[in-house]
Chains A and B, each alone.
Chain A
Amino acid sequence: QKEVEQNSGPLSVPEGAIASLNCTYSDRGSQSFFWYRQYSGKSPELIMFIYSNGDKEDGRFTAQLNKASQYVSLLIRDSQPSDSATYLCAVNIISISGGYNKLIFGAGTRLAVHP
């Protein structure tokens, strides 16, 4: 079982709609969760992070976390063609020896927003 799983997509939504991106993770000890956006040919760019159960809103983006279900999601309201990109979910994994964390990424979901 992969540590972080995402639907590869593509997820196609019309301009102005809500895009919903989902992610599940396997390590119950994970404490922090991140969403990165990656445009084609570019490096990942951090857009949201969330630590606590519930919702966290930042502009048009809302991250949702449910630790009991080991589930993270990202909602993008009023989707724009410029939101078309791959969205990567990343989860912190605590090292066996402790003392530091590293991020493990899912394969990403490709989002296409059409006019």
Chain B
Amino acid sequence: GAGVSQTPSNKVTEKGKYVELRCDPISGHTALYWYRQSLGQGPEFLIYFQGTGAADDSGLPNDRFFAVRPEGSVSTLKIQRTERGDSAVYLCASSPNGGTGYGYTFGSGTRLTVV
């Protein structure tokens, strides 16, 4: 597609529920990144995919968070047993390859609210 697409744009869920957030990167971009942004903070790195594999998942806060990219294109971030502290904007970004060369293109984000 022309840009990075994220769905849903907003998600409200109850504490303890499971959620999935989807990211469709720019066509042909092999590198895909997930970030989380809390109010008043900069984006916080979560995980990086190069192709289908997670090259760096060091930013995932705990084992309730998991992400996949089975065909090297669309990625899904999965959060189990959501907690109120998970409330944030989840941003996805893509780049042509693993280098930061010219920076990333971000999607419009998914605002997750856990009540």
Contacts and interface: CB of A to CB of B under 8 A. Distances in A.
Are both chains from one complex? yes
Interface of A: 4, 6, 8, 32, 34, 36, 42-46, 49, 88, 90, 92, 95, 99-108
Interface centre among B43, B55, B100, B109 (most CB of A within 10 A): B100
Contacts of A104: 45
A79 B31 CA distance: 35
B55 A32 contact: no
B54 to A, nearest CB: 12
Size category, B interface: 20 to 34
Nearest to B45: A102
Contact of B43 (A46, A100, A105): A105
Interface in B51-69: 55-56
B79 to A, nearest CB: 20
16 contacts: A34-B103, A43-B91, A43-B106, A43-B108, A44-B106, A46-B105, A49-B102, A90-B42, A99-B98, A100-B31, A100-B48, A101-B98, A101-B100, A102-B45, A107-B41, A107-B42
Most chain-B Cβ atoms within 10 A of its Cβ — which of A42, A43, A88? A43
Given A100-B55, A102-B33, A107-B41, A43 B103 contact: no
A95 B41 contact: no
Contacts of A106: 42
Contacts of A102: 33, 45, 48, 56, 100
Contacts of B107: 43
B82 to A, nearest CB: 22
Contacts of B44: 105
